[in-house]
Structure 1
Amino acid sequence: MTHPIALGICSVTFRDESPERIIQLASRAKLDAIEWGADIHVRPGEFKEAERIGNLTRENGLEVSSYGSYYKLGSNASNFLTVLETAKALGASAIRVWAGEKGSREADEEYRTKVVEDAKKIAAVANAENISIHLEFHEQTLTDTGESARDLMLAIQHPNVYVYWQPPNHVSVEERIHSIHKVKEWISNIHIFHWYSYENRMTLAEGRDDWLTYLANIQQDNRARYVLMEFIKGDNQEQFLKDAKVLHELKNAITR
């Protein structure tokens, strides 16, 4: 990554498409990178396929931004080594994980401690392979609010653990900005989409002003990070290409 903001797509955006087609779409959209998901395209343990897809990505002038795993902190520690080896085969320098599988209101201190300890454990193992750990900012996990995410990161206190940011659901723009500032020092990559809900998605153009505000707040530190597209209206490929143009416009507006 040579620019503070690099643009990409999460492969889960088009779960039904082949890796080859996703690479083609990312290239058409003039993106920089792909986050390959563990649910369909690069399953944990399928090392040869991971290596093939990683190489294919790079051969087409794209970077592997990250491995989008569904590893849940505190619940399946025995699986992490397989996830790590798959990320290595893919050539990913970052692994996205989930901050447990309970929301902050449901989790007691014992559960939070379990998540924290697992985060420290996998961060150390991954660090030995020069791979970083990134917590998904997501409901039904301990990063479902800015406050809970901040408390979690302060408890983890590990230099190899970061946070992805995405807009929390069902809150105002002001509350979303507040959540950015709660975890700002740990924000690595960003998942960008615009919706009312998973079932009711909008075009990125409709969220342009909101996203300009979010990105301006995040990029005040001018750190290098990926902004990764996800959840396209109608899962439509032409809409994806239109949204990608808006994404380029947002980048230009932030970095001019």
Structure 2
Amino acid sequence: MLRPGLCSVTARHLPTDGVLEAAAKAGLACIEWGADVHAPPAADLPDLAAATAAAGLAVASYGTYWRATPDDDGLALIGAARALGCTRLRIWAGTTGSAEASPAERAEVVRRVQGLADEAAGHGLELAFEHHDLTLADTVESTLDLLAEVDRPNVGTYWQPRVGEPAEVALAGLARLLPHVRAVHAFSWWPRHERLRLETRADLWPPALEMLAATGRATDVLLEFLPEDDLSLLPSEAGRLREWIAQAT
């Protein structure tokens, strides 16, 4: 039920065929195509979908950078996700952290997400928040509140360990978010923004994967960052992730 994959932003410097080759050689099953470099809405996305399938990979999701701002209704992203053949769009909950956002800012983000979610539902698509600093989904509490305020069955969240969180704190947060988690971004930053190998946080990832597997839901676990952006590490990092998934399931 846990599907190992790759975020294309992990290899921003490669063309799409290079990303596909790297993911396939690493034994991964799917790719989240990022809208910033590899899959902008104006790109030939049906061809990219076909190339992904030809490489033996699935399109896990569309990694958008939509932030519910007044200048972007997000509708072009729905067409792009459909062209890619995926069912999930990753979105960002505004441009301000939950502690700094005013009630009016929060209400506006909620309203815009609801609008996009309603449009997406008509196409069989779901939205999921990036669980990230400087957004309204920056803490577990704020993410849960935001999901309740949006109140749409096709809106969930991603999960990733917050910067600087000890394993026990991160796992407690995952447990609270678990009913809403649609996918996971997997990486090991510790203690702050230092990019380390996955196994450096062996106290975090195996129990997190066990928790995800216990839900019985299909969940994508997507490798996102590598130390020094060194793509030669991808096969071993993917191997470690697959090993932990096998143990968890």
> For the superposition of Structure 1 and Structure 2, which TM-score range results when normalised by the shorter chain?
over 0.9
Q: Which residue of 1 aligns with 2:27?
A: 30
**Could you tell me which residue of structure 2 aligns to residue 42 of structure 1?**
39
- Give the length in aligned residue pairs: 249
For 1:1-150, what aligned pairs fall within 5 Å after superposition? Answer: 4-46=1-43, 49-78=44-73, 80-150=74-144
- 1:66, CA displacement in angstroms? 0.4
Distance 1:198 1:130, change over 3 A: farther
**Secondary structure of 1:182 counterpart:** helix
- How far apart are the structure 2 equivalents of 1:77 and 1:98? 12
Q: Does 1:178 align with 2:172?
A: yes
More displaced, 9-18 or 194-203?
A: 194-203
Structure 2 vs 1, CA of residues 144 and 36 (structure 1 numbering), >3 Å: closer, same or farther? same
Runs of at least 5 residues in structure 1 that lack an aligned partner in the other structure: none
Rounded Cα–Cα distance in structure 2 between residues aligned with 1:206 and 1:213: 14
Normalised by the length of structure 2, the TM-score is 0.96
The CA deviation at 1:228 is 0.3
Residue 30 of structure 2 contacts residue 58 of structure 2 at CA under 8 Å; is this kept in 1? yes
Match of 2:213 in 1: 219
Compared with structure 1, are the counterparts of its residues 20 and 198 closer, same or farther at alpha carbon in structure 2 (3 Å cutoff)?
A: farther
Structure 2 residue ranges without an equivalent (≥5): none
Q: Which residue type is aligned with residue 66 of structure 1?
A: S
Aligned-pair distance for 1:59? 1.3
Identity of aligned residues (%): 32
Once residues 160 and 35 of structure 1 are traced to their aligned partners in structure 2, the CA distance between those partners, rounded to angstroms, is 18
CA distance in 1, matches of 2:79, 2:25: 30
Q: CA deviation at 1:132?
A: 0.9
Q: What residue in structure 2 maps to residue 162 of structure 1? A: 156
Match of 1:230 in 2: 224
Note if 1:242 corresponds to 2:242.
no
Between stretches 191-200 and 63-72, larger displacement belongs to 191-200
1:185 aligned counterpart, secondary structure: helix
Misfit runs of 4+, over 3 Å: 74-77
Partner SS, residue 203 of structure 2? helix
SS at match of 1:67: strand
**RMSD of equivalent CA atoms:** 1.4
